[in-house]
Structures are given as C-alpha cells and as structure tokens.
Amino acid sequence: MTTVISLADVCRIFPTEPPVHALSDVTLEVPPKDYLAIVGPSGSGKSTLLNTLGLLDRPTGGSYRLDGVETTDLSDGERTALRGSRIGFVFQSFHLLATRTVEENVMLAELYRKHDRRRRRKRALDALDRVGMGHRVGFTPDRLSGGERQRVAIARAIGGDPALLLCDEPTGNLDSDNTASVLDLFDELREQGLTIVVITHDDVVSGRADRVVRINDGRLT
Amino acid sequence: MRRGPGKPRLDVRDLCGEALAGVLARPVRSALTTLGTVLGIATLVVTIGVAATAGNQIVGRFDALIATSVTVEVPEQTWGERVSVGWDAPEELARLRGVVSSAAMATSRKTANLTVSANAIVDPTRVTDQTLEVVSATVGLPEAARGAIVDGRFYDEGHITRRDRVVVLGDQAAKLLGIATTANAPAVFIGDRAYTVIGILGRIGREPGLATAVIVPPSVGRADFDLKEVSRVLINTSLGAAGLIAEQAPQALSPNNPTGLQVTSPPSPTRARDGVQSDVNTLFLILGLVSLVVGGVGIANVTLVTVMERIGEIGLRRALGAARRHIAAQFLLESTMIGLIGGVIGASLGIVAVVGISAANEWTPVLDTRLALAAPVAGALVGLLAGLYPSIRAARMEPVEALRSGT
Ligand SMILES: Nc1ncnc2c1ncn2[C@@H]1O[C@H](COP(=O)(O)OP(=O)(O)OP(=O)(O)O)[C@@H](O)[C@H]1O
Ligand SMILES: [Mg+2]
C-alpha cells in the first residue's frame, strides 16, 4: 500500500519581519495504520506541521504527497476536496457548533462530501456509538463534559470516513480520566485501520503511540 | 487507495438547512435585523397600495364633465324682487376668463308637455303624435350641452332675427317622431303651426332632457310658446375654473340681484386635493426607500458581526471540506433569508394597513398581486445585496487563521 504521508524537505517560512522558519527541511514518512505522536516545545512548529499535513496550510518549499498524490501543486479547490475526502481533524478546542445538537454536529462531517442524504443520520449515530456517545445525541455541546465534547469531535472527524486522523493537542483541555478514554478510543480506531497523527505535550499521550518524532525549531530530531 | 479528490459539492437542501439553522441560531438578533426591511417594505406597500386604492376612488368619482359644469337656475317669479337674466347671457359670460361655452335656455311648465306630430307625408301609416317638451335656447346650445348635431344643422342668429319657424329635435324626440333625416326638410306640427326641422341634436352630455325635446329659437319661443324669460344658463368652464365661474356668473348675469340665482357647481376642488396627495405619496415613497436602505445597511452590519463571531465555524467548515464558495453561499443565503422574512412580514403588515385604511374610508381596497409578490422579492434582494460584502469577507478567510482565532 502507498505511504499515507510522504514529506520531503518541507519548509514553511512566514514572511514576517524577520521571517519565521516554522518548518525547515522536514522529511517524514507515515505508513498506513501508523500511530504517530509529534512532540516538541511550544513554538517549535507542531501546529504548523499539522496544518501542512491537513492541507490547511501550504508549504513554501519541498514536496508533500498524500496517498501518493503530490499536493503542493494542487489548486485551492482541489486541496479542499482532498482534505474533505481524506482527512479528519480533532482540535484542542473541539470546534463544535454551540447551537446545534451533538447529532447535527456529527452530521456536518458529510455535508461537503457524500451525497446519500437519507442514511446520513444513521451513519452519524453509528459514529457516535463508536465513541460511546450514543446516549447524548440530542444534547447541545454546552451540556457535555470536556471529554464528552472531545469524543463528539472525534465522532465528527471519523464520520467523514477519513484515511487519516490529525489531532492537535486532543487532550490539552482534558483531565487524566477523560484523556485515558480518548486514548482508548484512538487505540480502537487504529485497530479499525485509521492512520493517526497526534500532536501533544503530554508524555502519557506520546507513550501510547507506536512512534514518536521530536520537533525543535522547525526541525525533526 | 489512490482516488481523485473530485469537486467538493454541497446539496442545495443542505445549504438551505445550514443557512436556516444559522438564522434561527440567534432568533432575537435575526428578528431585530429584519426590522428595517419590515418598515421599509411595509411603508412602500402602504404608500403604493393606498395610492392605487385612493386613485381608484378618485377615478370613480372624478368626472371631467361634472368638474367643469356650472348651471345657473333662474327661480320662477313668485314674490319679492324680480330676478331676470337676459338672452344675451352667453355674450356676458364670454367675458369671464375660464368660460369655454354657454347657452341660455327657457323652459316652462306650460311647454313641458305639448303634443307634437310629424309631417304625415313622411310615413302615413304611423301614429306620430308625441307628447314632448318644447324649450327655447340660444345658438350655443349644442356646445353648451356637450352634444353634437348628428344631422342637418343648428339654427343661427339669422333664423332668430328672421323669426323663422325652425326647430331642432333631440335625437330621441326625432326617433319618436319617425324622423331619421332632415335632408328633405320634414316638418313637425305643434298646435296648429308647422315648423321645419333643420337639425337633430344627439350625443348630449349634460341636460339629458334635451334628447326628448323640441328646441326652438328664442324668437319663436317668445312668440309662439310664451317662453319669454331665461330659466336656465348652462356654462362649461376650463378645468379648475368651475369654482371661480360659479362665484362670478351670478354677478355677470344678474348684476342687480345676483343672490337670487341658484348656482350648481362641482362638489369640491378635486384637483387641488390630488396635488396634495401626490406630494404626500412621493414623501412616503422616499421614506420607504430610505428605511429599506437603512434596513439593508442593518443587515450588512449584523451579518458582518455574525461572520466575525463565527470565524471558528468558518475554519471548521473549511477543515471539513467546504470550498470558499460554500462559505460565501451560506452567509449570502442567511442574509437573503433575513431580507425575505422582513419582506414577507412587511408586505403582510402593509396589506393589512391598506385594507384597514380602505375600510376606514369606505373604499374598495385595490391590491395589485404583483405588488404583493414583488415586496418579499424586494426584501430578499435587499438582504442579498447586504450580504455580499460580509460573505466575501467570510469566504476570503484562510482556514488556518480562522481555526486559530476562532474558538
Ligand atoms: N501566521 C504566522 N505568522 C508568523 N509566524 C507564525 C505564524 N504562525 C505561526 N508562526 C510562528 O511559527 C512558529 C511555530 O508555530 P506553531 O503554532 O507551529 O507552534 P507550536 O509548536 O504549535 O506551539 P504550541 O505548542 O504552543 O502550540 C512560532 O514561532 C510562531 O510564532
Ligand atoms: Mg500548537
């Protein structure tokens, strides 16, 4: 099978004064079903790397192949389409819509991709069952605990049936119990065939991963 | 595993659902945002609706004929000061500005029902005796009665001075008498005298009684029918002059005793009221348009605030695969919906107001269905225009920035 992520000499320079070299010559391979943790001090470029992997940001140099497709010369619209169809995101701050129910939040995952609308609700409920949130479908996010919110966010991320799950500090706002339940969930998802990349400060999180890479000043070490 | 990305697509129903959810997420704010549009559309609908309704009433009542007709009646002499109007009344009136035409007539109770028969030679088998009224009138009668000579001619000053026994028949009278044409100079008999019919007067606009009358020159009237005194003067004025002429005519006709005359003039100065109304209409139209613009600016403002509040949501949607156009479409549709809701509410309020105003004035409300349909569309258009800038702002946002700054 093709490597899911293949970075070669990727650079990201922010054109500020002076320019910030957030990523310098990053080379990284992530095979399918890998569970990779990226650790590093604050300001080292972890989020920039994840945004690049998630096609939210464009590298200023180097090559990034996702599922074998060279992404650096794709148009904005093509990158959006690829992102929508291949990648699920889990953010530290959840990014749930406060005025919509748990179920509606998960259903957003398919809004911009699949078009079998009839079974969308069913698939959303399945995703919520997978993260153990099947009993809270009608709630709004403000009535959930932090761990529950993050599990809903993970349900939304996997609801779009991605090949790659990118998580930026997914447990940053959670206590140890909630962190443990999210990590158990990642283990399960990986067994189901997902490729997972997690950014973290937390040794507990990086300890559960297959591989850990360190980033310092934009360079992998 | 390699799969082309394909174009990100968004089902129209999903787009509408998301936009509706966005509008309903902050119901109070959305309701307040519609207010400007509601006011603007309601004002426009009321102004246009009331103008159409009132215009219809004025058209119904407004009649150029009535508005320019003045009739002066000379009361029959019973007691007190003698009032009389000379047969030269048309000449006197011609001096007044605004008089278009006039004629003096004489009628009397004695001449109201005279037996008139047509020349037996015309059609011997017919019973041609008819009971008709004989009136005498000055030469300007056809014009003054807003009629037209449909056959032959009307008599002139020559006939009057020569005291020719000529008559002109009203068109109904001619029909009753079986006279279709004056080409072979038919005669009618009144009493034992014969009169030559020289013309037929038809299409009479005022004084409908003339249609069944036998009209004779004043000289003949005086000599044969005892019609000595002018009993009525018909005056036609130019538009707008009727009120003034109604005041001046008695003085001109009877300088010694002007108050002894009865003047009938059009009920009210309609035109003046129209003028005032159209000024008010323009004012309200401008007011409606201004509130609509203010409403649009309000929608633009609130949508912009909404976009800024929802930066995180925009970032999330981009991360989920939404293209820039999907983001733009959603916010544009939200502001259009707000405008549409404002338009629907405004149009409904406006229609209710038009019906209420009509009921209070006992008018029949005139509601143009095109107006009722166009008003919500106008509201939606205001919302669409107002949403353009905010939605472009939303679409331009970079997903990374949006995710970073939003929560
Ligand atoms: N838009 C930007 N313009 C200029 N500099 C930026 C921009 N975004 C990030 N940087 C800089 O790039 C560097 C890496 O930032 P990044 O957000 O990737 O750090 P991080 O490793 O995620 O840190 P943290 O652990 O605190 O989240 C930082 O020095 C940051 O100041
Ligand atoms: Mg970070």
Contact between chains at B8 and A160 (C-beta distance less than 8 A): no
Q: Take residue A97 and report the two structure tokens written for it.
A: 């819509």
Interface of B with A in 107-146 (CB under 8 A): none
Q: Which of A8-12, B247-251, B306-310, B392-396 has the lowest mean pLDDT?
A: B247-251
Q: Looking at residue B257, what is its pLDDT?
A: 83
> Mean per-residue pLDDT for B31-57?
87
Q: Which of B198-202, B280-284, B314-318, B390-394 has the lowest mean pLDDT?
A: B280-284
Count Cβ atoms below 10 Å from residue B52 Cβ, excluding itself: 15
> What percentage of chain B has pLDDT greater than the value 90?
54
Q: Whose CA is nearest to atom 14 of ligand 1?
A: A45
How far apart are the C-alpha atoms of B372 and A9, rounded to whole Å? 65
Contact between chains at A111 and B10 (C-beta distance less than 8 A): yes
Count Cβ atoms below 10 Å from residue A130 Cβ, excluding itself: 18
Q: Looking at residue A181, what is its pLDDT?
A: 87
Asked if B10 is an interface residue toward chain A (Cβ–Cβ < 8 A), one would say: yes
Q: Which residue among A56, A69, A81 places its CB closest to the CB of B8? A: A81
Domain boundaries, chain B: 12-62+271-406, 69-267
C-beta separation of B156 from B97 below 8 A: no
> What percentage of chain B has pLDDT greater than the value 70?
87
Q: Looking at residue B125, what is its pLDDT?
A: 62
> Mean per-residue pLDDT for B84-100?
90
Closest chain A residue by Cα to residue B399: A56
Residue A18: cis peptide before it, omega within 30 degrees of 0: yes
Contact between chains at A109 and B11 (C-beta distance less than 8 A): no
Print the domain residue range for A42.
5-220
C-beta separation of A127 from A162 below 8 A: no
User: Bigger pLDDT: B118 or B93?
Assistant: B93
> Mean per-residue pLDDT for B332-338?
96
Question: Does residue A51 have its Cβ closer than 6 Å to ligand 1?
Answer: no
Most B CBs within 10 Å: which of A83, A96, A140, as the mutation test of the B interface?
Answer: A83
Contact between chains at B322 and A163 (C-beta distance less than 8 A): no
**Cβ-based contacts of A93 with chain B (< 8 Å):** 312, 407
pTM: 0.69
Distance, CA A23 to ligand 1 centroid (Å)? 10
Torsions phi, psi of B265, nearest 5? -130, 165
Beta-bridge partners for A26: A10
Interface of B with A in 309-368 (CB under 8 A): 312-313, 315-324, 326
| pLDDT tens column, B276-292 | 466 667 888 888 898 89
Nearest one of A109, A103, A121 to A165, comparing CA atoms: A109
Q: Looking at residue B389, what is its pLDDT?
A: 97
Q: Looking at residue A160, what is its pLDDT?
A: 85
> Mean per-residue pLDDT for B90-116?
91
Q: Looking at residue A11, what is its pLDDT?
A: 96
Q: Whose CA is nearest to atom 30 of ligand 1?
A: A43
Regions in chain A scoring below 70 on pLDDT:
1, 114-115
**Cβ-based contacts of B7 with chain A (< 8 Å):** 77, 81
| pLDDT tens column, B126-164 | 666 889 999 999 999 999 998 999 999 999 999 999 999
Q: Looking at residue B41, what is its pLDDT?
A: 94
Q: Count the domains in chain A.
A: 1
| pLDDT tens column, A61-106 | 999 999 999 999 999 999 999 999 999 999 988 999 999 999 999 9
Largest pairwise CA distance in chain A: 53
C-beta separation of B304 from B393 below 8 A: yes
> Any idea what the CATH number is for the domain that residue A66 is in?
3.40.50.300
Q: Looking at residue B272, what is its pLDDT?
A: 41
Structure-token match 């919500």, residue found: B376
Nearest one of A74, A63, A56 to A10, comparing CA atoms: A63
Q: Looking at residue B141, what is its pLDDT?
A: 93
Q: Looking at residue A152, what is its pLDDT?
A: 95
Query: How far from chain centre, in Å, is Cα B361?
Result: 16
Question: Does residue A15 have its Cβ closer than 6 Å to ligand 1?
Answer: no
Q: Looking at residue B342, what is its pLDDT?
A: 96
Q: ipTM of this model?
A: 0.95
Q: Whose CA is nearest to atom 22 of ligand 1?
A: A47
* Confidence class for position B271, pLDDT limits 50, 70, 90: very low
Interface of B with A in 378-407 (CB under 8 A): 399-400, 403, 406-407
- CA distances from residue A152 to A50, A85, A142 in whole angstroms, order as listed: 21, 19, 12
Contact between chains at A112 and B18 (C-beta distance less than 8 A): no
Q: Looking at residue B124, what is its pLDDT?
A: 58
> Mean per-residue pLDDT for B301-322?
94
